[in-house]
Structures are given as C-alpha cells and as structure tokens.
Amino acid sequence: MNYRLVFRLLGRLLMMEGALMCPSLLVAFLHHGGDAPAFIFTIALTLVCGALPGFLLHPKRDDLTARDGMAVAGLSWLLLSFFGALPFVFSGAIPHLHDALFESVSGFTTTGSTILRDIEGLPRGILFWRSFTHWIGGMGVLVFTLAVLPRLSGRTAHLARAESPGPTFSKLLPKMGDTAKMLYALYFALSLAECACLLLAGMNVYDALIHTFGTAGTGGFSNYNLSVAAFHSPLIEWIIACFMLLFGINFAIYFHALRREGGPILHSEEMWAYLGLVLLATGAITATILPRYPDFFTALRYGFFQTASVISTTGFSTTDFNIWPLFARCMLLLVMCTGACAGSTAGGFKISRVLLLVKSAYRDLEHTLLPRKVSVVRFEGKSVPESTLTQLGVYLFIYLCLFLAGGILLSFDAGDLTTSFTASLTCLSNVGPGLGQVGPAENFAFFSPVSKLILSLLMLAGRLEIYPVLILFSPTVWKKN
C-alpha cells in the first residue's frame, strides 16, 4: 500500500466531512437544541485529524493501484462513520459509542435502521445530521471528493468504481472529475425537485429537507417515530413513493434524457425490469391486502409505498407491514433481495446482477440440452465477457455467505428465525426495516453491542459491494509496496 498517498487522501476526506457538518451546526444554532457545542467540537476534531495527514504527508509517488483504491474506499467509509458518530455521543443524544456508530453507519450507508426508541425527543441539529449522512452517503463521499478536488491523484477511476454500486462502472463523460460533477448535479437537481414538491404539499422546510435527504440517498431516516405516516397526507405519501422509485434508477438514464438520447433509455433492460418488478409486486401486494383496507385506492397507496420503499432500499413506512398476510411479506422480501438499479443511490443486490445471473443460468441450462451450441450472454445490446459472469457468480456466493453468517450470528439476540435473517438481509441490502422484531414499527435497540457491530459491518459491506470492506482483512493490502 502506498501509505503516504492513502493517508493523504483519507485526511482530505476527513476535512471534507468536517466541512459537510457545518450545515448541521447551523441548524443546531437556529433551533437552540443544546447540540451546537457537540458539532463545534466534532468539526474541530475532524478538521485537525484530517489536516495533519492531508497537508503534512507528501507522497513520493502518486499512483494509486486498484488495490489501494479499494482500501481507500473501505477505510474512508469506516473513518467517516466513526467521526460521523461523534456528534451523537458528544451531545448525549446516543450515549454509547457502539449505538452511535450503528446509527452513523446506518446513515452513511443509507440503510435507515435505527437503535433509537424515541426519535422525536432528539435535538434538531442531531436529527438533521443523522439524515444529512444519508444524502452524503447516497451518491458517495469519494465521488463528491472527485467532483470538488479533481486533481487529487492521477488514477481516480478506482475510487469511483469502488464506491459506485453495480457490476460495472461506466463514465458519463470522458473525465472522471466531470463525471462526478455531472452525477452530483443530477443528484442535486432531483433532490431539489423533491424538496419543492414536498414544500408545495404542505411540509415545513425542516421536515421537507429531512425527508428529501432520506429519499434521495434511499436511506429512510425520518424525524418522526411513525415515519412518513406521521403526516397523515396521501399526497405526501405519493410524492415520496414516486421519488423513491426515481432515485432507484440508474443516473445514466437521466443523463441520456438530458441529452435527449432516447436509444439508451429504451434499451435499458435494467430499468424496464425494475419498473416491471415494481408493477408486479405492487399488484400482488395490493390484491393480497385489499380486504384489510376500506377501498382499493387506500390499499394501492399502502402497497405501492411499501414496495417502492423496500425495492429502492429506502425503508420509509406508512404502515406496519409486519401484520400483513404472509404472501405480501414474501413479496416484500423478494424485492428486498433484488434491490434497485446499478448506478443509482440504492443498495441491494441490484437488478442488473439478477438479470445477468438469470440469463447466464438460462444459457447454461440450454447448454445441457444443446452441448455444441455456442452462445454469448447479451445485456443491454452488448455481449457480456465470460469473466464478468464468473465474477458475478462469486459475488453472489460471498453475498449469500455474508447473509447467512449475519443471520446465524444474530440468532443469539433475536427471538426467531425471521428476525435474525431479515435483520441480516435488511442491513446487507441497506433497506432499513426487516420483519419480526425488526419490523417497521420496531427498532434495533435490543441487539447486544457485538450484534450491532456485526450489523454495522454488514451495512458497510452492502453499501460498498463487499470487496472494499473484505479486502481490509487481507494482510496483502497492508504490505508496503
């Protein structure tokens, strides 16, 4: 590992985080919640800790290997989560470090699982920061850094690739810095649109911002115990549901729309599969829960909102789907497994991976019937290299291993199988609520400190798509080169 360069990069990232805490400090000042000192102290600490390696270390070489890039991604998310947890601890809002860390990781990874029993009692600056981490984590800190500090290092593609979700990472514009700027511009514009809609629907500015952050990052933290249900407004529910779906679509689609290129949008198999799945799940769920609600539109609203929330891995809720019929819960579990599109802010396994696996499974089945037939797997009009398919199989295997390991380790604390395995799945997919004791009306507070750390690791692994977190455990990475 090129230690000097890696630590310099990490230092710069920490300084960036310090700067990103300033809006929360402003909110804390405006609302006099007594949490301003915690922010001042954290910002000072973060800036100092970042400035020391960020300015004093001068790397001898500025080449970043693919391995180093991944390590930077893994380490930076660990560091960000740690420093992001400090305001919770210093303000006394979440006194234990392991709880604060869980909350911070859940924020940055846009999971939205919480250990808080009473959210509404927290100071408003703290709640703002908790949701703002969603917004930062959604598009990614490294991508943000690339957008504002373009000449960080010559070889920055690794960083973006390690952080951006999906089996492959494709640039929108030739320069990495320009691509990062374009992604953030789209992200910002969509967020602004949602915020405006929510304001028009009657939310106050603070609530609108909090819920925009939660939706844009596909996170799911709300400042109400009842989540979005607290507003008792069907209009707000429809707006948030639609934007959750929009943030689950690959941002390249919006880029093409902006450039008026219809072809790539029409041929985006992933987007159509995603929308089709949403339609299917919504239909099935609505039909199943119809008897429980007074009319069709109410059932449709609840069915659509929960589906959009889970498939986009956001995790807002308007009702306790824990008490729904089993089939409806199974449909939600299904979309929890798939997640949304690659290149979006959503987590999960990603629709494109599912599609590729389905196609390659079909091809291999066909191969047993027609052993001499040569066929390639095509995806979105292009043939897929065999190496990508192999990597995909391995990724699926590791993903399942983590899911199982998480479920088994959590069984010490959880009361039943549903709880332990859905808790593991919901964290790995960055959704938020699970079923059983971790359902949308419950929280994660009852887990032991060890389980909370395991869940935090699962969330990080899910957000960074496993490898950047996993390789930190390999001694090869830490060898000096």
Binding of other proteins at residue 174 (CB under 8 A)? yes
**Burial letters for 384-407: b for 16+ Cβ neighbours within 10 Å, e otherwise?**
beeeebeebeebeeebeebbeebb
Q: Using CB under 8 A, which of 31, 171, 359, 363 touches other proteins?
A: 171
Instruction: Dig out the tokens for 270 from the structure.
Output: 């992933």
Q: How far is the CB of 341 from other proteins (least distance, A)?
A: 20
| DSSP-assigned letter for residue 230 | G
Q: Which stretch binds other proteins (CB under 8 A): 137-145, 170-178, 244-252, 293-301?
A: 170-178
Binding of other proteins at residue 61 (CB under 8 A)? no
Whether 167 and 384 have beta carbons less than 8 Å apart is answered as no
Specify the residue, 232 or 378, whose C-beta has the smaller distance to other proteins.
Answer: 378
Distance between CA atoms of 187 and 134, rounded to whole angstroms?
Answer: 13
CA 121 to chain centre: 26
Number of residues that bind other proteins (CB under 8 A): 16
Q: How far is the CB of 176 from other proteins (least distance, A)?
A: 5
Q: How far is the CB of 62 from other proteins (least distance, A)?
A: 12
Name 382's bridge partners. 379
Q: How far is the CB of 296 from other proteins (least distance, A)?
A: 45
Binding of other proteins at residue 398 (CB under 8 A)? no
Q: Using CB under 8 A, which of 32, 96, 175, 378 touches other proteins?
A: 175
Please report, in angstroms and rounded to a whole number, the separation of the first and last CA atoms in the chain: 6
Side chain identity at residue 142, one-letter code:
L
- C-alpha dihedral sign at 132, 135, 137, 143: negative
Distance between CA atoms of 179 and 463, rounded to whole angstroms?
Answer: 20
Closest CA to 470 of 413, 417, 398, 420: 398
Q: Which stretch binds other proteins (CB under 8 A): 101-109, 129-137, 379-387, 466-474?
A: 379-387
Instruction: Dig out the tokens for 429 from the structure.
Output: 């997919």
Binding of other proteins at residue 67 (CB under 8 A)? no
Q: Using CB under 8 A, which of 32, 61, 232, 382 touches other proteins?
A: 382
Whether 344 and 258 have beta carbons less than 8 Å apart is answered as no
Specify the residue, 96 or 267, whose C-beta has the smaller distance to other proteins.
Answer: 267
**Burial letters for 220-236: b for 16+ Cβ neighbours within 10 Å, e otherwise?**
bbbbeebbbbebebeeb
Compute the 3-state secondary structure of the chain and give helix, strand, coil in percent, each to the nearest 5. 70, 0, 30
Q: How far is the CB of 156 from other proteins (least distance, A)?
A: 7
Q: How far is the CB of 393 from other proteins (least distance, A)?
A: 18
Whether 20 and 134 have beta carbons less than 8 Å apart is answered as no
Whether 430 and 347 have beta carbons less than 8 Å apart is answered as yes
Binding of other proteins at residue 325 (CB under 8 A)? no
Instruction: Dig out the tokens for 84 from the structure.
Output: 């992001």
CA angle 315, 466, 245 (to 5 degrees): 30
Q: Which stretch binds other proteins (CB under 8 A): 32-40, 152-160, 270-278, 280-288?
A: 152-160
Specify the residue, 61 or 96, whose C-beta has the smaller distance to other proteins.
Answer: 61
Specify the residue, 204 or 481, whose C-beta has the smaller distance to other proteins.
Answer: 481
Q: Which stretch binds other proteins (CB under 8 A): 31-39, 72-80, 154-162, 394-402?
A: 154-162
Specify the residue, 32 or 382, whose C-beta has the smaller distance to other proteins.
Answer: 382
Binding of other proteins at residue 232 (CB under 8 A)? no
Q: Using CB under 8 A, which of 26, 149, 178, 185 touches other proteins?
A: 178
Q: Which stretch binds other proteins (CB under 8 A): 33-41, 45-53, 111-119, 168-176?
A: 168-176
**Interface residue list for other proteins (CB under 8 A):** 66, 154-158, 171, 173-178, 382, 385, 387
